[in-house]
Amino acid sequence: MLSDFLTLLAVAFAFCVVLMAFIWWLSVRIKNAGIVDIAWSAGFSVVAVLYGLLAHGNGTRRWIITSMAAIWSLRLGGYLYFRVMGHHPVEDRRYAQLRVEWGAQADRKMFWFFQLQGALQLVLSLPFLLAALNPEPQIQLIEWVGFTVWLLALTGESVADAQLKRFKANPANKGGVCQLGLWRYSRHPNYFFEWLIWMGFFLFACGSPWGWVTFFCPLLMWHFLLKVTGIPMTEELAVKTKGEPYREYQRTTNKFVPWFPKKKEQV
């Protein structure tokens, strides 16, 4: 199993390196580094299919985890495609800020930044790989629990994205704060359900040998979403553009985990 593990990891590594090199080249051509978000999300589907085709684990398990990864990956990649390309040629503020900070070395540094995304992609694919290598014919209870968590989370994330899209599509809501549906109970329900999807992947992997070591995957996603590029940057921009209505939203609504809103402060 170890030789199969290393071989498949090497195949996925080569794919991630080539994918991110190509996306970097394309981003230089179109002057929009935001496309790396699309490639990062959608690229997981290719990695998962490679594992599903080349691994020698139980066929049913292989295709369950491959389908879980591919469906999540393509849905998120498609959503980001329309978001990123809908604003093209305007570049996402995160990457625009990096260009300012990096100056004349921006393109060179962006190449290695993209490769770092590829490395993260490889590391986070381990739940898919370990499950695809498992020869055990019986699907374990923990795997069905992981599948159920994944399905609920995927549904929640899709609903949250659709509600936000519907809110933004109404011209009357321009500059307003979305509190439609799930957004009434969490300021970032899409991020919460994205994290929950990775909990589902982890739980599914726990049914396979060494699957428990992938506990770092939901932890990494939690860290990035709550501490790095997810919530901090999103809220900083929201406060700047929406002002006091968003601050009031922060006071009354949970940041991450959906819960009943607090009462508004009396003036």
pLDDT tens digits along 186-199: 999 999 999 999 99
Does the pLDDT of residue 258 top 90, yes or no?
yes
Among residues 102, 94, 121, 101, the alpha carbon closest in space to that of 33 is found at: 94
**pLDDT category of residue 241 using cuts at 50, 70 and 90:** confident
**Alpha-carbon distance 128 to 112, whole Å?**
25
pLDDT tens digits along 61-101: 999 999 999 999 999 999 999 989 888 888 887 888 888 88
Percent of the chain with pLDDT over 70: 99
pLDDT for res 2? 87
Among residues 19, 7, 6, the alpha carbon closest in space to that of 45 is found at: 19
Question: For residue 99, how many other CB atoms are within 10 A of its CB?
Answer: 15
Average pLDDT, the chain: 94
**pLDDT category of residue 264 using cuts at 50, 70 and 90:** low
First to last CA, the chain: 65
Predicted structure pTM score = 0.93
Percent of the chain with pLDDT over 90: 84
Among residues 237, 225, 233, the alpha carbon closest in space to that of 175 is found at: 237
Cβ partners under 8 Å of residue 194, min gap 6: 76, 153, 157, 221, 225
**Alpha-carbon distance 158 to 29, whole Å?**
32
pLDDT tens digits along 138-184: 999 999 999 999 999 999 999 999 999 999 999 999 889 999 999 99
Residue 186 · residue 255 · CB < 8 Å? yes
**Alpha-carbon distance 70 to 125, whole Å?**
11
- 98-112, 134-148, 227-241: which has the minimum mean pLDDT? 227-241
pLDDT for res 267? 44
